[in-house]
Structure 1
């Protein structure tokens, strides 16, 4: 890369902010138990209203970034997209389910017990079934990824999420003997995928033609960027306020949950990256494919687990651990992609094959 690229202030220290949220949330729960109890009772049809508002503040700005007209251009270079979709939908959720089952139901069962094993497994499955959306643009930028192609990969993933997320989650949790209320799951998909996606699309369709894309980026997307991170951090404070007793009584669980999550990140990123090299996909498409295959739409995962299992559940804790490990692990994947760019030297050779 010609110049050093870095995350902005919030994103660069996201893991630190998450760690602080753990401390603040646990302390808040112990000092103000009445407030926490009142927040937990603000529900409509299993949906916690404060959390729902915060999740919307996280997800809506992400959906505003998606230009679905870019999908029309994907036919020019389909292989990178096929690899992304293969890893995201046919490998990632199932590999996470297998790793979760192995570690939680076999290796760690004596430490966590059957109930927590089921809840941790559920949380990691939901986490893996939601491909990353917003942060992919950051990872792609840090690896000199093709921004237009990354947009296509993200946009099609979001569309597929509408129809595949709920069935895959239901199937894998059912195989794992975890009972899932179907109506709550579909309501979560409607609230946290469909409605924000439609709202983002309508906003773009109304504002960009009348004001221009530069105005839209400067006046809408840029001011909303810190809102997403702040809403995430406030959400985590509330979650950890409810999770305080679980964490203080069994803090070792966070380490146990992180192990299979980290393994699946490196497995899926390596698989996508290796397939891209094998099929001679250019590096600026291969690296985002690896990063999308490794990272998660943790905002959605947190929202769904809260709706399905509650704020104090082990499933919700598992998705929050996913947030905790996301940034440092993904930065290591970015670093690997940058160091191995020479593996894709075939890009400079003339070829008739399209990527």
Structure 2
């Protein structure tokens, strides 16, 4: 914990303040939600896009792209990530949605959509704060992005139509464009990834790696957390009235999400450790498996079912639960790291 800056050390406080500020603004400032929601280009919220780009660029600028081959050669990490993200994760969310929300089909469908949207954004921040493997995170997030474009529609059909039919359950099919998914990936991952790669390549070419890592990166580092806090304020301001006006519904949706994050993170961490991965790669595996792409989930839910639908509310509750839970797991990871190092030295 000593290596964390003042901003990092009190991150839960700043995130709590940002969430409360966003909810308060969305609830009590007339017209703000409409103004923020109207600032869009081709359906993409510009304030949220700006926050995510600011959040992800500094972390991706830290990645040593010349070391990515060491990750791609690690077949164990790659296979575990694919299985956790695209087999176990969606199946677990499907089961929890039916266990906790069997009587609420709209929320249940929204929760299943959240489970299908694998994380490509904030996981990079959580992994970096927990001292995970940056290069592994970049590769696994890129892998998730490719699979997201290819598999989201297939898994949506399977979990919302085919499987419930097989089990004799109510069905709720969804219809959405593959371009919407690809667009989310290109904007929220592609732009900061290209910017981060070019920053390192051009910075090292002109000034050297020592200058780049000792001078340039410390200057842009805090921008990631400023972007994170800005994104949280905007996101919760957009949905503040919805969340505060339906508190019991929020609780019903939050319960299976809490169980999901706990099982996915702890299970992935235990699996990584049992498989002989290092602390850094175990941590990266756990966070990339536990996080979800709530931006995509909300966009799909709103696009298919409408902004006032129960499915959209379930998507909005996702970050309400995910942000504080995964921040807490960052601190759990750092505590485990100290024990891991101490055991290795003994």
Q: TM-score, normalised by structure 1?
A: 0.77
Query: Deviation per CA, 1:100-127, whole angstroms, max 9, x where unpaired?
Result: 34333x2xx3xxx332332233234325
Match of 1:136 in 2: 127
Q: Distance in 1 between matches of 2:76 and 2:284?
A: 10
Asked if 1:118 is matched to 2:109, the reply is yes
Q: Distance in 2 between matches of 1:286 and 1:127?
A: 18
* Contact in 1 for aligned 2:254/2:317 (Cα 8 Å): no
CA pair 333-53 structure 1, distance change in 2 beyond 3 A: closer
Structure 2 gap segments, 5+ residues each: 161-172
Asked if 1:155 is matched to 2:138, the reply is yes
Q: Distance in 1 between matches of 2:253 and 2:12?
A: 16
**In structure 2, which of residues 210, 225, 228 is the aligned counterpart of residue 214 of structure 1?**
210
* Contact in 2 for aligned 1:97/1:125 (Cα 8 Å): no
Match of 2:179 in 1: 183
Q: Distance in 2 between matches of 1:253 and 1:17?
A: 26
Matched length: 325
**How far is the alpha carbon of 1:56 from its aligned partner?**
1.3
Correspondence list, 1:1-355, <5 A? 5=2, 7-74=4-71, 78-104=75-101, 106=102, 109=103, 113-127=104-118, 132-140=123-131, 150-174=133-157, 175-176=159-160, 177-279=173-275, 281=276, 283-284=278-279, 287-288=282-283, 291-296=286-291, 301-310=293-302, 313-314=312-313, 315-336=315-336, 338-339=338-339
* Contact in 2 for aligned 1:129/1:169 (Cα 8 Å): no
Q: Distance in 1 between matches of 2:49 and 2:183?
A: 12
Structure 1 gap segments, 5+ residues each: 142-149, 349-355
**How far is the alpha carbon of 1:206 from its aligned partner?**
1.3
**How far is the alpha carbon of 1:318 from its aligned partner?**
1.5
**How far is the alpha carbon of 1:41 from its aligned partner?**
1.1
Q: Distance in 1 between matches of 2:96 and 2:283?
A: 24
CA pair 86-305 structure 1, distance change in 2 beyond 3 A: closer
Q: Distance in 1 between matches of 2:281 and 2:56?
A: 26
Q: Distance in 1 between matches of 2:330 and 2:36?
A: 33
